[in-house]
Amino acid sequence: MEDDKIIERYLNRDESAISETRDKYGSRLRALAQGIVADHATAEECENDVYLQTWDSIPPHEPRSYFFAFLARITRHIALNCCRSRGALKRQADIAALSEEMEQCIPASNDTALAVDGILLCETLSAFLRKQPEEKRKIFMRRYWYMDSIADIAARSGMQQSRVKTMLFRMRNDLREYLTGEGYTI
Amino acid sequence: MKGNELLDYMEHVDPELIAEAETFGKPKKRVYWLRWGTIAACFVLVTAVVLNLLSGVGPQLTVFGKQLNDEPIEISESSGYSSRINEAQDVVQLAIPFTLDVGRQTELWVSSGVMQVFDYSVNTLMYEGDRFTTTTKVSVVWIIETADKNARFTMSVGTQYRVIVCRDAERGVWTINKDK
């Protein structure tokens, strides 16, 4: 079923929208959650929570043209929270490592925490990524959005792990300079 | 801002970038049987080619829609094929159409009569005579005229085999067959 029709069902409060969503995107969302939490049962829990949250979010949202990205965003959010809240999950250390890597992108870091509009920041981030070559952009997204391990990215891209690490290191530096140039001093 | 907050903010990047990265180089599963399967398939292919060459099958000749082999095929107008038999009192005229599919350069020559060779795809006359070399699939009409009903005519197809046209005296019909 087309995304547009599924969204219509959500808007009409037709519960079949959930089963249609599960049929069309369930395996991809589960794979995404599995990639983040690295635990099959938790990934299934996350997937079910995604349907619930999607039901609560449409309306007011109407993600007709980006339904998968909308679902993926919710999945990532839920899975990431799971990793942080459940100490038993092995991925907790990986998430901490990813946070440290992201910290390197933040320009002129100091102790003064200023409020930053996250949405605006992400627009800047999106603009930065769109300026990157396709492969670099995808690798950055796989690492910091899908939270793939370096080994997985190397397998996907056919590159050596060391090359992936170097590429990401340079991109983080470039991003920091870009954010500085855009006036972000956080 | 901390790194974990930026990691969270990443959530809001352009949906197009999210969708684009989702299909980026799916992890390659190692399919061990594929490597051995490929090797086995190559071995079978090489063996088949070698056996084919050794057996001397070579060019494929089709007469009246049938693959020509050792078994004589009757040449008759009544069989519905386009061959012509003009068996007057003294002269026999045979026009035998066939197609020849060759995998490599092959020379055809006939002991008697002439060959009209046509391009197979566009059906235009390319050659008329008793000796022709081709590297592609061609249509040929072999025209024989003879006053000798006991004559035997041959066409050599490369060095692989000969085609024999002769009269079966018992049945009173002309036949064609392959003779290695």
pLDDT tens string A160-178: 889 999 999 999 889 888 8
Nearest residue in B to A65, CA atom: B15
Cβ pair B14:A126 closer than 8 A: yes
Q: A108 or A70: which carries more pLDDT confidence?
A: A70
Residue-level pLDDT at B80: 42
Q: Is A183 on the interface with B (CB under 8 A)?
A: no
Top residue of A28, A57, A73 to mutate, by most chain B CBs within 10 Å, is A73
SS3 assignment, position A16: helix
> Which of A57, A83, A70, A58 lies closest to A29 in space, CA to CA?
A70
Mean per-residue pLDDT for A41-61? Answer: 88
CA B21 to chain centre: 48
- pLDDT class of A51 with cuts at 50, 70, 90: very high
Q: For position A139, what pLDDT does the model report?
A: 92
- Counting one residue from chain A and one from chain B, the pairs whose CB atoms sit within 8 A come to 118
Chain A hits for B4, Cβ within 8 Å: 95-96, 99, 102
ipTM: 0.81
Q: Cβ contacts (< 8 Å) between B28 and chain A: which residues? A: 155-156
For range A128-137, the mean pLDDT: 90
Residue from A99, A116, A142, A168 whose CB has the most chain B CBs within 10 Å, to mutate: A99
DSSP B127-140: EEESEEEESS-EEE
Touching check for B8 and chain A: CB below 8 Å?
A: yes
What percent of chain A is predicted at pLDDT more than 70?
90
Helix pair angle (A134-144, A91-103), 10° resolution: 130
**Subunit contact B10:A125, Cβ cutoff 8 A:** yes
Q: Which amino acid is at A139?
A: I
B17 in contact with A, Cβ within 8 Å: yes
What are the chain B neighbours of A65 within 8 Å (beta carbons)?
15
pLDDT of residue A87: 65
CB nearest A105 (choices: B6, B13, B24) = B6
A126–B17 CB contact, under 8 Å: yes
Which of A18-27, A31-40, B78-87, B125-134 is predicted with the least confidence, judged by mean pLDDT?
Answer: B78-87
Phi, psi for residue B93 in degrees, rounded to 5: -120, 125
Q: Quick one: average pLDDT of A91-95?
A: 73
| DSSP conformational letter for B160 | T
Residue A142: closest C-alpha in chain B: B21
Q: How many CB atoms lie within 10 A of CB A25?
A: 22
Distance CA B166, CA B161 (A): 16
At B53, the pLDDT band (50, 70, 90 cuts) reads low
Supply φ then ψ for residue B63, to 5 degrees.
-115, 130
Instruction: Tell me, yes or no, if A83 comes closer than 8 A to chain B by beta carbon.
Output: no
- Return mean pLDDT, chain A: 83
Helix or strand run (H / E) with residue A149: none
Q: Give the number of residues written for chain B.
A: 180
> pLDDT at position B81, please?
45
d(CA B94, CA B98): 13
Quote the tokens at residue B46: 């090489």
**A185 contacts chain B (CB < 8 A):** no
- B22–A156 C-beta distance less than 8 A: no
Phi, psi of A74 (to 5 degrees): -65, -45
Residue B16 to residue A101, Cβ atoms within 8 A: no
| Cis preceding linkage at A60, omega within 30 | yes
Residues of B within 8 A of A105 (CB-CB) are 3, 6
